[in-house]
Amino acid sequence: MNRRHFLAASAATATLAPLGTNAFAEPFLVDGLDKLTDEKGVYILPPLPYAQDALEPQMDAETVGLHHQFHHGGAVKGLNKDMEKIKLASESGNLEGVDYWVKKSALHASSHILHSIFWTNLAPSGKGGGGEPKGELLKSIQTEFGSFDKFKALIARVSSDVDGNGWGILAWHPMTKKLIVLQCENHEKLTQWGAVPLLVIDVWEHAYYLKYRNRRTEFVEAFFKIVNWENVALRLDAARFVK
């Protein structure tokens, strides 16, 4: 079974909590977990896998709408422009300043990737969101971090303490076969190359400021009430298959 078939099979058999008529159909069943480009390789904004107000009260509808359409959507637009500029420079042979667009592409692509994971990491509280991980994911967390509570305290602290804008990330590293916690600045900094993000906590101010104001720690605490652990578990299954 190749990776693609494995992912399709995992997605087909995964027991995801129902969140509406087409919950998760798109991001899950097309080419593994996520659909970030169309058939021509143009970057696209995946639809939210639930209604805009589905994450209330932990994440308010206005924030979700602005965040998805303008922040995530803006990164997708920016990324397509970056790629166009890089292509034009490369084709014309005039490479003066092309590194600007290469840097921008790292920022925008990382934003697109992390936000695409972020939306599917979430589900309404009590309807697929919240609670604790189970099965292999729980075992792996216990092995690496001692217990779920210790892991939760660690990633919450790392997320709350990001300098400026960034993310707290739980990732699987295929080269070391380890679960790791990362503190990402902006969207693209402070990774371990090759790490596969499983759970991503967006602590950019745009993710919480309308509702939580300066209370980032409170937002991070509320975030755990809407984590879709089934999605995180599915991502771990898929990541473990990466050689």
What are the residues binding Mn ion (CB under 5 A)? Answer: 71, 202, 204
Q: Which is nearer to Mn ion, 114 or 123 (CB)?
A: 114
Q: Which is nearer to Mn ion, 50 or 204 (CB)?
A: 204
Tell me the closest approach of the beta carbon of residue 183 to Mn ion, in angstroms.
16
Tell me the closest approach of the beta carbon of residue 219 to Mn ion, in angstroms.
12
Distance CA 149, CA 161 (A): 18
- Sequence-distant (6+) residues with CB within 8 A of 233 are 133, 134, 135, 136, 137
In the block, residue with structure tokens 């166009």? 84
Distance CA 19, CA 224 (A): 18
Q: Which is nearer to Mn ion, 123 or 184 (CB)?
A: 184
Q: Which is nearer to Mn ion, 101 or 204 (CB)?
A: 204
Residue nearest to Mn ion (CB): 202
Tell me the closest approach of the beta carbon of residue 198 to Mn ion, in angstroms.
17
Q: Which is nearer to Mn ion, 71 or 211 (CB)?
A: 71
How is residue 47 annotated by DSSP? P
What proportions of the chain, in percent to the nearest 5, are helix, strand and coil? Answer: 50, 10, 35
Show the tokens assigned to 76: 């997708």
How is residue 227 annotated by DSSP? B
Q: What b-and-e string marks burial along 34-57, b requiring 16 or more CB atoms within 10 Å of the CB?
A: bbbeeeeeebebbebbbebebbbe
Tell me the closest approach of the beta carbon of residue 202 to Mn ion, in angstroms.
4
Q: Closest Cα to residue 55, out of 126, 155, 111, 115?
A: 126
Tell me the closest approach of the beta carbon of residue 44 to Mn ion, in angstroms.
17
Q: Which is nearer to Mn ion, 7 or 117 (CB)?
A: 117
Tell me the closest approach of the beta carbon of residue 71 to Mn ion, in angstroms.
5
